[in-house]
Structure 1
Amino acid sequence: MGAVVVRWGATIRDQLVDPHDTGPDATIEGIRRLRLFLPLVMAINLGYALYFWLLIPPATNAITLRYNNLIGLIHVCSGLMLLVAYPFTQYFHQRPWRLPRFQKLLQVLLCVWALAFGISLALTDQLVGSNTTNYVLAAVVVGMMGLLSPLMALAMFGVSYLAMFLLLPLAQTDAEMLDMARSHSFSAVLISFAASLMLWRQHVSATLLRRQLTELAQRDPLTSLLNRGAFMQRAAYELVRARRYANPTGLLLLDLDHFKKVNDQYGHPAGDAVLCGFAALLRERLREADIVGRLGGEEYIVMLPSTDVAGAARVAEKILLGARRLRIVHDGVVISVTTSVGFTVSLPTDEVATLEELYLRADQALYAAKTAGRNCAERG
């Protein structure tokens, strides 16, 4: 029994929490969906306000007059609120990386507005009947389009139903109609939360799959290091950051010595094993903040953030020493390898410190290391 309870508890926890941190993606997508929906709602608000305030014949009794005025006022207030909110949804649609906390606040406020709008119309409808359709529609819209996290959706739907439960008696005096309105509202909350939970799980699955595909597209399939394009993109960003904070940045080019002989003597599978072994050596000898990639063939590239000339030289020497000690075992054969290293450093005083310039300098240094007999490092 205890194991069943634990298993159920774990299942519920997995459904309600966000262990993969997909919330920011959900917020952006939720704002995008609501942004597409807002113009339609504003048009509906305008149409209802005009209809109830200007187009229908004057009310013949106080209750109808009050009902018409309240409906028109609710739609006018809603339209004005959305008119203010829409530019923010447009802004974040064009700049999804900006102000994540404000994005979350905007997403929550739009969902709160939708539920409050539905509650206001449903309470007003109690003046002339027991209709709760507007609250039901608002809850369904939030559940289908808001893309709220499960805990946020649970809290929001729970609070909105509590508000309906407590406020309905103030507008509905008939006991049977009151029970009917509360029952319909509760059903709407359950259905909307179930829809919200289902769409959230779909969003999590799609986001994780998209991340995996993006990661695969950025990785060298053999060594799992960054491929050339991904490395250049991250390195360019790091170099911009280094210039901003006036930090030195090192760049290393590495080429395995006489690698063709390994393929010719032991075969290409052995060569692949050497490439993977050297990639593992780089991961072991470098910091987590360092950016490592495979350019292709037996060539590797490393960017060293916040590293001066002396630091880059130490890293190059450490890699050289590690390569000399590296032994790759493949099909019972022990293969040794060495590498040549060309490195350069972008200093805060450099007039030209583009990635292309650093790459050229490191490449020239690598050529010098090969000319000097390989198995050594040269600075460019």
Structure 2
Amino acid sequence: MPAWRIDWRALIEKNRAFAPQLLEQNIRRLRLAAPWIPPLNLMHLWLFWLRQPESVNEALWRQGVLAAHAGMLVFYAVLALVAWYLARRPELVRLRQLSVSVAVIGTLGFAALLSAIDQLVTSNITPLLIGCTLVALVFLHRPLSALWLFSLTLALFLFGIQQTQSVPDVLLSNQVNGLSSCAIGLLLAWLQWRNFIQINTQKQRLQAQAKLLEEQNYTLSYLAEHDPLSGLLNRRAFNHIVERELLRCQRTQQPLCLLLLDLDHFKAINDRFGHPLGDAVIKRMATLLSSQVRGLDSLARLGGEEFMLLLSDCDREQGLQIAEKLRQLIESQLQVVDGKAVAVTVSIGMSYLDAGQLSSYESLYVASDRALYSAKQEGRNRVKMAAPS
């Protein structure tokens, strides 16, 4: 697409995408701005009430200004209450949109009306300029909505001054000035909208980057503590957990068991069927073990075909029962993996701490490794137990 052409579809989609933020901003601004208008109306009413008219035109002008400001006072007082209520009710989307539209149209209507009334005694159109400027700066408008609003305001203003301004030169001057006032309002509204889009686009981009960074940090944190193949804790993370559990068990006088599991003849599986099948065996092993452990237990893959399981608040008899159950489960469930008869078995070495017994992680690990070596020496596919030294 040429650089000078506008992608209207993309522009409309972007405008729609920011509709919720637009509405929220306008409600907030209406809630802040509306309460300031009634006091100003009261001041105008007081000043014009004190002024005594000296001619018929001035009397009509004074009467019209008083009626307009009285109407504005009631209008904005009601708007202030409505805005205060709607600021706490984000679910009332339709009513929020309606209140903002009424506030904008009413403000521009009063500005055009006051400027037309002023033509009875003066050529002043300051209310129109102030109204267009305030509406453009206080509220956010989509470009097409702004074009429609300020065009309607100009039409209303032109119609009004034709009824009240009888001097042709002044009428022409005010028509041109009214067109300029509405054009200034339209330009300010467009600049406001453009700034709003840029800020929110940048905010979305920053939020997306922050979310991506958070996801990446989570991934890095996960990878730092988990084995990528099995999804289990890695040795580094498991060591921290065991050290913490040892301190807790010593404080609460609870027993624990440490199981070291090693798949039998795993190298032969890799050599015979290939490493992809070996990886599948590791994954199946991790799934089976994970399905059996309790929520308070910790399971890790140390590397290769070795796994370790910490059984918290578990004495030696319970630990032996769990270890034997795991051995039988693996023997029965890992006969066939991915259609290959692998007949996987596991040897398990277990160490334990009785309630109130003190020991270090290193002593427990050495005892579990010694028990595992004993299980391997005695023919594999069995559970052996050793106490820490």
Question: Shorter-chain TM-score: which interval?
Answer: 0.5 to 0.7
TM-score computed with the length of structure 2 as normaliser: 0.56
Residue pair 2:132, 2:182 contacting (<8 A) in 1 also: yes
Map of 1:129 onto structure 2: 122
**Distance across 2 between alignment mates of 1:186 and 1:343:** 76
Alignment of 1:233-272 (within 5 A): 256-258=230-232, 260=234
Unaligned 5+ segments in structure 1 are 229-253, 264-334, 345-361
SS in 2 for 1:128: coil
TM-align CA RMSD: 4.0
Identity of aligned residues (%): 19
Which residue of 2 is the match for residue 246 of structure 1? none
**1:46 aligned residue (42, 46, 57):** 42
CA spacing shift, 1:227–1:159, aligned 2, 3 Å: farther
Structure-1 separation of matches of 2:53 and 2:289: 87
Deviations 1:248-276 (A, max 9, x none): xxxxxx9953463799xxxxxxxxxxxxx
Distance in structure 2 (CA, Å) of the matches to 1:23 and 1:69:
41
Aligned residue number for residue 196 of structure 1 = 189
Separation (CA, whole Å) in 2 of partners of 1:341 and 1:100:
52
Measure, in 2, the Cα distance between the counterparts of 1:147 and 1:19: 12
Q: Secondary structure at the match of 1:161?
A: helix
Measured in 2, the distance between the counterparts of 1:69 and 1:62 equals 11
Q: Which structure is larger by alpha-carbon Rg, 1 or 2? A: 2
Is contact 1:52-1:72 (8 Å) kept?
Answer: yes
The 5-angstrom pairing of residues 245-324 of structure 1 reads 256-258=230-232, 260=234
Relative distance call for 1:38 and 1:222 in structure 2 (3 A) is closer
Pair 1:146 & 2:124 matched: no
Most deviating of 32-41 and 72-81: 32-41
Asked if the contact 2:26/2:139 (under 8 Å) is kept, the reply is: yes
Shift of 1:21: 1.2
Alpha-carbon displacement from aligned partner over 1:37-86 (angstroms, at most 9, x marks no partner) = 22221111111112212x22x22221111111110110010010111111
| Cα distance, 1:29–1:168 mapped onto 2, change above 3 Å | same
Q: CA deviation at 1:140?
A: 0.6
Distance in 2 (alpha carbons) for counterparts of 1:87 and 1:60:
39
Q: How many residues align?
A: 257
The 8 Å contact of residues 16 and 151 in structure 1, kept in 2 or not, is answered as no
Q: Is the 8 A contact 1:27 1:148 kept in 2?
A: no
CA contact (8 A) 1:67 1:124 kept: yes
SS in 2 for 1:188: helix
Contact 1:255–1:340 (CA under 8 A) maintained in structure 2: no
2:232/2:299 contact within 8 Å kept: no
In 2 relative to 1, CA 147–187 (structure 1 residues): closer, same or farther, beyond 3 Å?
A: same
